[in-house]
C-alpha cells in the first residue's frame, strides 16, 4: 500500500483507497493524483493506500488494510469503486469487505462511484454479474457516510430523489491543463485531428473503420488532414490503422502511450478531436481531456443527455451515423468561426465543471468534519 509524507498539524489528512492497479495506464490512480494536488490547495493532504489483493491475495491484502488502518479513526477514507478494481471477474465483494474494515476502525467512509450500476450483457453469467454489482453498489451506498457520483444524481436509476448523503462531482482530465492558451487559431494546413485512446477488440476495428470513413469523406472534399492517434490502445491498433488508411491520402501519426504532459501539448495543438468509442457521456475521460485542452469534439451522442459534457464544444451525431460523422468533422475543420465557438465552449465548461479546483471544492464542501 502506498504512503505519503505525514500531513502538517494545520493540514487535514484523507486517504484514497484503491483496488487493483490497471496497466499500462491507471486511470483511477491518475484521478487520485490530480484530485490530491487540487485538495492540497484546500488544506487537505490525500494519502494513497492500495489493497494489493491481486499481488498478495485477499486475506493478506485485507490483513494489511487492517494493520494500516489503525490511524484512520476520524479521518475520511475515499474508496474508489469500479467493479474490476475489486474483482478479477466482476464480482466486487472485496470492496464491501474493505469498507467494513475501514468503518470498523472508526474511519469516516466515502465511496467514489466511478461505476454506479452493474454492467449488463447477453449471457446468463452477465446477468448474474450485473445483479451482484448492483447489490454491491447499493450496499456500499448504504454503509458509507458519504457518496460521490461521477454522473449526475438524477441519472442513477436506483438512487432515491432528494437523497441526503450523495453529491455529484464530474471527473477531471487525467492530463495537465495546457500552460499556454490552447490552440490559437492557425491558418496553415493541414488541419490536425486528434484521436485519444481506442477500445480493445472487437470494438477497436469498428472505431478505426468509423475514423477512416470520416477522414475519407474529408479527403474527398479536397482536404488532406493530419490524424494523430495517441493514448491507450492506439499502439496495439497499428495494424488496423494501416489497413484502414491504406488508400486514404492523409498523414497518419501514431504516438501510442505518451507522458501526460506530452499528451496535453499534442491535444492543445490539434484543431479538433474525434471520439467514436460509442456515445459520449460524462465519464468519457478522453473527451474530458479534449475539453481541458480547449478542443472542439466531434463524436456520437445527444448533447441534451450528457450534462455537463454537453455544455462543452461538442458537435455530435447519432450513434452509427458514419456519413453524418464525416460531415460534422468537415464542418468543424472548414469553418474557423464554428471551430472557435466550440473551442470557447470547451474552455468555459472546463472552468465551470471539469477544473480540478472546482471538483476539489465539491469534495471539500461535502466531506466537512463531523461537528
**139 within a domain of the structure (yes/no):** yes
Pick the closest to residue 17 from 7, 5, 6, 3 (CA basis).
Answer: 3
Count of CB atoms situated within 10 Å of the CB of 302: 15
The reported pLDDT for the residue numbered 2 is 45
196 in the same domain as 284: yes
The reported pLDDT for the residue numbered 177 is 84
133 in the same domain as 233: no
The reported pLDDT for the residue numbered 371 is 39
Per-residue pLDDT of the chain (371 residues; tens, 9 = 90+): 544 545 444 689 999 999 999 877 788 999 999 999 999 999 999 999 999 999 999 999 999 999 999 999 999 999 999 999 999 999 999 999 999 999 999 999 999 999 999 878 788 888 999 999 999 999 999 999 999 999 999 999 999 887 889 999 999 999 998 765 555 555 557 899 999 999 999 999 999 999 999 999 999 888 889 999 999 999 999 999 999 999 999 999 999 999 999 999 999 999 999 999 999 999 899 999 999 999 999 999 998 889 999 999 999 999 988 889 999 999 999 999 999 999 999 999 999 999 999 999 999 999 975 43
C-alpha cell at 273: 478531436
167 in the same domain as 86: yes
The reported pLDDT for the residue numbered 150 is 96
The reported pLDDT for the residue numbered 305 is 87
| CB 195, CB 234: distance < 8 Å | yes
196 in the same domain as 328: yes
The reported pLDDT for the residue numbered 185 is 55
117-124: Cβ within 8 A, 24+ apart: 117/156, 117/157, 117/158, 118/83, 119/83, 119/90
139 in the same domain as 155: yes
Phi, psi for residue 209 in degrees, rounded to 5: -65, -45
The reported pLDDT for the residue numbered 5 is 45
Q: Domain range for residue 219? A: 192-354
302 in the same domain as 159: no
196 in the same domain as 331: yes
244 in the same domain as 342: yes
How many domains is the chain built from? 2
**137 within a domain of the structure (yes/no):** yes
Q: Which helix or strand (DSSP H or E) is residue 192 part of?
A: strand 192-196
152 in the same domain as 47: yes
**2 within a domain of the structure (yes/no):** no
Distance CA 240, CA 321 (A): 21
20 in the same domain as 166: yes
**3 within a domain of the structure (yes/no):** no
Amino acid at each position: 500500500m502506498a504512503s505519503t509524507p505525514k500531513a502538517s498539524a494545520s493540514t487535514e489528512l484523507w486517504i484514497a483507497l484503491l483496488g487493483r492497479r490497471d496497466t499500462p495506464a491507471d486511470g483511477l490512480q491518475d484521478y487520485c493524483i490530480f484530485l490530491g494536488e487540487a485538495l492540497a490547495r484546500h488544506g487537505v493532504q490525500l494519502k494513497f493506500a492500495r489493497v494489493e489483493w491481486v499481488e498478495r491475495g485477499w486475506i493478506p491484502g485485507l490483513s494489511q488494510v487492517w494493520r494500516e488502518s489503525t490511524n484512520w479513526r476520524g479521518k475520511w477514507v475515499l474508496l474508489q469503486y469500479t467493479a474490476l478494481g475489486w474483482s478479477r471477474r466482476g464480482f466486487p465483494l472485496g470492496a464491501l469487505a474493505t469498507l467494513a474494515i475501514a468503518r470498523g476502525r472508526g474511519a469516516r467512509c466515502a465511496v467514489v462511484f466511478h461505476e454506479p450500476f452493474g454492467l449488463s450483457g447477453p449471457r446468463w453469467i452477465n446477468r448474474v454479474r450485473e445483479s451482484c454489482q448492483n447489490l454491491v453498489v447499493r450496499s456500499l451506498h448504504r454503509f458509507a457516510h458519504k457518496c460521490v457520483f461521477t454522473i449526475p444524481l438524477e441519472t442513477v436509476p436506483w438512487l432515491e430523489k432528494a437523497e441526503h448523503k450523495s453529491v455529484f462531482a464530474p471527473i477531471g482530465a487525467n492530463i495537465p491543463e495546457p500552460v499556454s492558451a490552447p490552440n490559437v487559431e492557425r491558418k496553415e494546413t493541414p488541419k490536425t485531428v486528434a484521436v485519444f485512446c481506442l477500445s480493445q477488440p472487437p470494438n477497436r476495428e469498428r472505431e478505426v473503420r468509423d475514423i477512416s470513413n470520416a477522414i475519407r469523406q474529408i479527403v474527398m472534399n479536397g482536404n488532406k488532414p493530419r490524424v494523430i492517434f495517441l493514448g491507450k490502445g492506439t499502439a496495439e491498433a497499428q495494424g488496423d490503422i494501416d489497413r484502414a488508411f491504406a488508400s486514404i491520402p492523409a498523414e497518419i501519426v501514431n504516438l501510442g502511450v505518451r507522458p501526460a504532459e506530452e499528451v496535453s501539448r499534442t491535444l492543445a495543438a490539434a484543431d479538433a478531436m474525434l471520439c467514436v468509442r460509442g456515445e459520449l457521456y460524462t465519464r468519457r475521460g478522453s473527451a474530458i481531456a479534449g475539453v481541458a485542452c480547449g478542443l472542439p469534439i466531434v463524436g456520437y451522442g445527444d448533447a441534451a443527455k450528457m450534462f455537463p459534457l454537453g455544455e462543452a464544444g461538442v458537435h455530435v451525431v447519432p450513434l452509427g451515423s458514419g456519413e453524418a460523422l464525416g460531415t460534422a468533422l468537415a464542418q468543424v475543420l472548414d469553418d474557423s468561426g464554428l471551430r472557435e465557438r466550440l473551442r470557447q465552449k470547451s474552455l468555459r465548461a472546463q472552468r465551470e465543471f471539469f477544473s480540478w479546483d472546482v471538483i476539489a471544492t465539491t469534495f471539500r464542501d461535502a466531506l466537512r468534519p463531523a461537528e
